Structure 1
Amino acid sequence: MEDSHRAPDYSPSAALTYEPLKRGLTQVFTGGGKGKTSAGIGTAVRASGRGYRVYIVYFMNRAYDSGEQEVLHRLPGVKWAAFGPGLVRHPESPSPEVREKAGQALAEARRAMLSGDWDVIILDEVNIVTGWGWLDAADVVRLIKDRPENVELVLTGRLAPQVVIDSADLVTEMVKIKHPYDRGIPARRGIEY
């Protein structure tokens, strides 16, 4: 008798038959609530499960700065690159190196998007980097406008500029109702990062 509460046994490699994405869109996950990166990573997991090739560009995180990076490289068809300074609060005057890294991350996202090698491109925390002025919003909009028809583009992070929101096909705002940070509880390893 089959146990309906357990996942069926199957070979993941046999289940992954690649078919190019026919129509990609641009998604934005923004807002002050928790779950923006989680939504992006959920998209990566779902896409990987359907055989799509996924490339994630981290604008804030460094290499192996978060729990998801520890496991993402194990998913079929998923790769990532990290350019960020790590978890930081908004600096009043970001250093030229920080701005340069943000520019490098955007250039890498553009290269990957136009390469034909990837079906889904996720720009993690690009919205906040843009909202803080580390990137020009016009450059992010240009990336959205240049998206090939068969590429899904996912932009995460709070403070998404209105021009980015206006350029997207799907926008979800995570609204904070209550957050442990407000009570002084810091981010927890394996839960928030």
Structure 2
Amino acid sequence: MSRLIKGYIHVYTGNGKGKTTAALGQALRAAGSGLKTFIVQFMKDFPYGEVKSIQQWNEWIELAQYGNDTFVIDKRLPCQSDFEAAKQGLQRAQEAMLSGKYDILIMDEVCVAIHFGLLNTETVHLLLEKKPTFVEIILTGRYCPSELIEKADLVTEMQEIKHYYQKGIEARKGIES
């Protein structure tokens, strides 16, 4: 049974670091208050540090990964399995949202999945239209479509001012991965 009277829609977007981190921080804060979160990660199948950490909080936070970003790294078009993974992730997100089991739904990198054509804005918008009053939803990822920004109640844009990646420093375990 939910403990939120009213849930809102958040968007964390922009080219700066911290979108997923902010969403995960919200899940951690919610767990400390007895709220349950379901996280769907699109285009991520790497065992990022958060995947291992969340396993220790499995009473409060559940995470499922759908797809990967190999086609982006390889600079090729997505294949059928990429589209299927995104579709399955969105279906699982909707099931979790409507289950009554979770207070918060995080759709991590859903905006990137839309940007690369794995999902379309209208389908995600339709999911948001079905949102139960008591469920909080967080959408993350660069390139958030304006239609989803308009639908959201809270929008935060992460802006990169300076990043050590520009000096050739790669992702570090426990900080960026």
TM-score, structure 2 length as denominator? 0.93
Q: Is the 8 A contact 1:120 1:153 kept in 2?
A: yes
Q: Distance in 2 between matches of 1:27 and 1:94?
A: 28
Q: Distance in 2 between matches of 1:77 and 1:188?
A: 27
Q: Which amino acid aligns with 2:51?
A: Q
Q: Which amino acid aligns with 2:79?
A: S
Q: CA deviation at 1:84?
A: 2.2
Matches within 5 A, 1:41-120: 41-62=24-45, 65-75=47-57, 76-86=59-69, 89=72, 91-120=75-104
Q: CA deviation at 1:89?
A: 3.1
2:153 pairs, out of 157, 169, 192, with 169
Q: Which amino acid aligns with 1:131?
A: H
Q: Distance in 2 between matches of 1:73 and 1:141?
A: 30
Q: Distance in 2 between matches of 1:51 and 1:154?
A: 18
The verdict on how the C-alpha distance between 1:88 and 1:157 changes in structure 2, with shifts beyond 3 A counting, is farther
1:156 pairs, out of 140, 149, 153, with 140
1:147-178 Cα offsets, whole Å, 9 max, x none, are 10000000111111111111111000000111
Q: Do residues 125 (structure 1) and 109 (structure 2) align? A: yes
1:123-169 Cα offsets, whole Å, 9 max, x none, are 11111111121101101111111110000000111111111111111
Structure 2, unaligned stretches of length 5 or more? none
1:42-92 Cα offsets, whole Å, 9 max, x none, are 010011000011111110221x62101111121231111111215663644
Q: Which residue of 2 aligns with 1:24?
A: 7
The verdict on how the C-alpha distance between 1:109 and 1:67 changes in structure 2, with shifts beyond 3 A counting, is same
Q: CA deviation at 1:19?
A: 6.0
Structure 1, unaligned stretches of length 5 or more? 1-17
2:19 pairs, out of 36, 54, 58, with 36
Higher Cα radius of gyration = 1
Q: Is the 8 A contact 2:2 2:101 kept in 1?
A: no
Q: Distance in 2 between matches of 1:169 and 1:144?
A: 12
Q: Do residues 134 (structure 1) and 118 (structure 2) align? A: yes
Q: Which residue of 2 aligns with 1:6?
A: none
Q: Is the 8 A contact 1:128 1:158 kept in 2?
A: yes
Q: Which residue of 2 aligns with 1:7?
A: none
What is the DSSP-based 3-state SS (H/G/I as helix, E as strand, rest coil) of the residue aligned with 1:33?
A: coil
Task: Provide the aligned C-alpha RMSD in A.
Answer: 1.6
